[in-house]
Amino acid sequence: MNQPPLVIGSRGSKLALYQSNWVKSELEKQHPGLQVEIRIIKTSGDLFTEAPLSKIGGKGLFTKEIEEALIRTDIDLAVHSLKDLPTVLPEGLCLGAVSRREDVRDALISNRYQTLEALPAKARVGTSSLRRQSQLLHLRGDLQIENLRGNLDTRLRKLDQGEYDAILLACAGLVRLGLGGRITERVPVERICPAVGQGALGLECRSDDTLTRKRLESLNHLETRQAVDAERSFLRRLGGGCQVPIAAHAAVQNSCLRMSGVVASTDGRRLFRDEAESPTSDPEELGVVLAEKLLSAGADEVIAGLS
């Protein structure tokens, strides 16, 4: 008997479609006879392409309309860049799987300068991320941070046209689209801590859709899932809105989960960073423990002042 096709909801950007097509291919490979379709859904983040993300409401900006389609059962599965997915999901939805993580680091891209250190004073650096802005200014308070929106091609074109001396993007998206050669420097996570969930794909489905949840099991990468569960728990406990630069990076090493986290002011003058580790058995507790450490160190004042 023919199975009904499984429908994936996806944003229409080149990167989003690459990611959704990868999931489609993997599902069809793992489940012979299963047909998978991709349906493009426009999100608020796709419609408002010029204003800084923090000004138009960061939470759910790239996911809300797709989640609504999932709840209506118009689609069966949503493929997100996990860093875009809020830590609290709508009732009835769940994170069915998390893909193996791509390079988690941020990428410096410049046509003139090879490293972050080599940028001259007053260099114009493009980014739409308060997280990147705050950490950049903490490292290099002499830089001029300017808003940069648009898809990957648009951002790279603006750099090539001379609007910026350098831009910062996620390594993962560049690598997935075959643009890794544009990366000038892969900035170590010890210098600029990544976004929560950066480099991983979050596959969201309905909690009661047992068939889709079962199909997604083969795409769930356990070590990545443990790491991002800790990171998302950290962000959830801090509770900062889109106005607060928050970053976290967890990784499994020698059967142990190690995590670093950052909370900063937007101007980079106040930055709280700490680390914690635990067994891999309770990643969410690790996230809470690290968040509490930063809050007790004074990060609560930064969050209260910016939220």
Residue that the structure tokens 């046209």 belong to? 161
Pairing assessment for the beta strands 166-170 and 124-126 based on DSSP bridges: parallel
Task: Give the single-character DSSP code of 134.
Answer: H
Give the torsion through C-alpha atoms of 97, 100, 103, 106, to 10 deg.
10
State the chain's maximal CA–CA distance in angstroms. Answer: 67
Residues 6+ apart with CB under 8 A from 258: 250, 251, 252, 275, 276, 277
Residue that the structure tokens 């909370």 belong to? 263
Residues 6+ apart with CB under 8 A from 107: 168, 169, 170, 171, 174, 182, 183, 184, 185, 186, 187
* Residue among 74, 76, 84, 153 flagged as catalytic: 84
Q: b/e for 12-44, b at 16 or more Cβ within 10 A? A: ebebbbebbeebbeebeeeeeeeebebeebebe
| Ordered strands of the 271-279 beta sheet | 246-253, 256-264, 271-279
Active site residue 84: yes
In Å, what is the CA distance from 31 to each residue of 27, 100, 204, 214, 256? 6, 19, 18, 11, 33
* CB 199, CB 85: distance < 8 Å: no
Tokens of 295: 């809050």
Q: Which residues are catalytic?
A: 84
